[in-house]
Amino acid sequence: MDFSPEDRAWLDNDPDIKFGSKELGSGGAGIVYELDNNPDLVIKVPKRFIPYTDTEKMQDIDARANLFRVLLLKEIETYNKLKKLKIIIPTRVVKLGVKTADGEDYLGLVRPKLKTSLSDLMKLSDEQLLEFRENLVELSEAGYEVAGWLQVGVDRLGKVQIYDIGDIKHCEDKKSAYTGNDSKWYTFLYCTEKVKYFFSDPSRIKTFFKLYKLY
């Protein structure tokens, strides 16, 4: 996937990325902020990152945040392998203006803001779910599995995208990828009450059987 023309044009102008006022969430490796100067975009930075530049405070950042910096580097590596897949959220890697004591840059990941609430995911249409399933099949065909919960959101065009790319792992074979993703897919359908929805009306059951398995 790629950025919308508007977001891509904004990023291509090499803007000064400003963030920190509005935290949207955090995970195992990073914290996500809405951009202060573009609310349609977010940035993921290493957990415990503080944008200081003087040497003493920079060394303090190293001691506390370097592990998370490395984890984000692994996420960037995975993104570069999978960025052509439709289910992968577009990402622009930016320098945060701070270096480690060894001269390595701290990096941030700029992405479109997605609707990620359970209520938003429960509103997905049959067409959106079918497209989502096809894109999970594409991920499985590439030999990759989502290791944990399907952490996805809906962009402004109604496309469902995985935003936690660090939670994706390469499998030894496609069968393993399909098996793992199939389990996560059914869990997603169940938790968003899509199983209940399809079985509440006999006319929808045929659609469910097109959806519920990836292979």
> What is the reported pTM?
0.88
Q: Which two tokens stand for residue 193?
A: 């009450």
Spatial CB neighbours of 143, under 8 Å, sequence gap ≥ 6: 170, 171, 173, 174, 177
Domain 5-112 in CATH 3.40.190.10: no
Q: Compute the distance between CA of residue 26 and CA of residue 38 in angstroms, rounded to an integer.
A: 20
pLDDT average, residue stretch 95-102: 83
Average pLDDT score over the chain? 89
* Residue 39 identity: P
Q: 118-211: what CATH class?
A: mainly alpha
The C-alpha torsion from 100 through 102 and 104 to 106, rounded to 10°, is -10
Give the SS3 label for residue 30.
Answer: strand
Q: Compute the distance between CA of residue 193 and CA of residue 121 in angstroms, rounded to an integer.
A: 10
Same fold for the pair 5-112 and 118-211: no
What is the per-residue pLDDT across 176-200, written as a single tens digit (0 to 9) for each? 999 999 999 999 999 999 888 888 8
Q: What is the pLDDT of residue 161?
A: 97
More confident residue, 57 or 173: 173
32 has a pLDDT exceeding 90: yes
What backbone torsions phi and psi does residue 189 show, to the nearest 5 degrees?
A: -60, -40
Structural contact between residues 153 and 114, judged by C-beta atoms closer than 8 angstroms: yes
> Percent of the chain scored above 90 by pLDDT?
63
pLDDT average, residue stretch 58-84: 84
What is the per-residue pLDDT across 105-152, written as a single tens digit (0 to 9) for each? 889 999 999 999 999 999 999 999 999 999 999 999 999 999 988 999
Q: Which two tokens stand for residue 84?
A: 């052509």
**Residue spans per domain, the chain:** 5-112, 118-211
Q: What is the pLDDT of residue 171?
A: 95
